[in-house]
Amino acid sequence: MYSEASFLWESWLKVFTSNQSEAIINNSQRKKLEDYHRLILSAFKEYHRVLKPKRWITIEFHNSQSSVWNVIQESILKAGFIIAQVSVLDKQQGSFKQVTSAGAVKSDLVISAFKPLKKFEERFLQTSGNGLETEFIEQFLSVQPIKGV
């Protein structure tokens, strides 16, 4: 609904957003969860393409439906990232849907994902990550800043 929320500004400026690639679920645009999955996966693949190996991406996302969270996490993995940490963002106050809807996700998650070296990524996919824990930790630690004693 982001492009729709900008309609007044866009009308005034006479510049309109092409919402074809807008990753949303929206009945008026006839975009369902499957469309959202395809579009968000495409976005994460592009993030993966431009991000250098051994670097991080952090995603903070709010949605009250667990099915959308599942799509986000699956898309991150399919794009080639390794999810290293998932944290809860405590905003102190939930949205209207978070507070009133049964089964709604009650917190926002912050997902930190890592782009491994290409050769590691290939082995990770072949072995489902089995036995690669030490190598992943070494890659992770190799890009951490060294703190003084």
Specify if 58 maps to a domain. Answer: yes
The SS3 call for residue 133 is helix
Q: How do residues 95-134 score in pLDDT, each as one tens digit?
A: 776 677 776 666 778 999 989 888 877 777 777 667 777 8
Q: How far apart are the first and last CA of the chain?
A: 50
Residue 91: domain span: 50-142
Least confident of 34-38, 45-49, 87-91, 145-149: 145-149
Specify if 4 maps to a domain. Answer: no
Specify if 59 maps to a domain. Answer: yes
Q: How many domains does the chain have?
A: 1
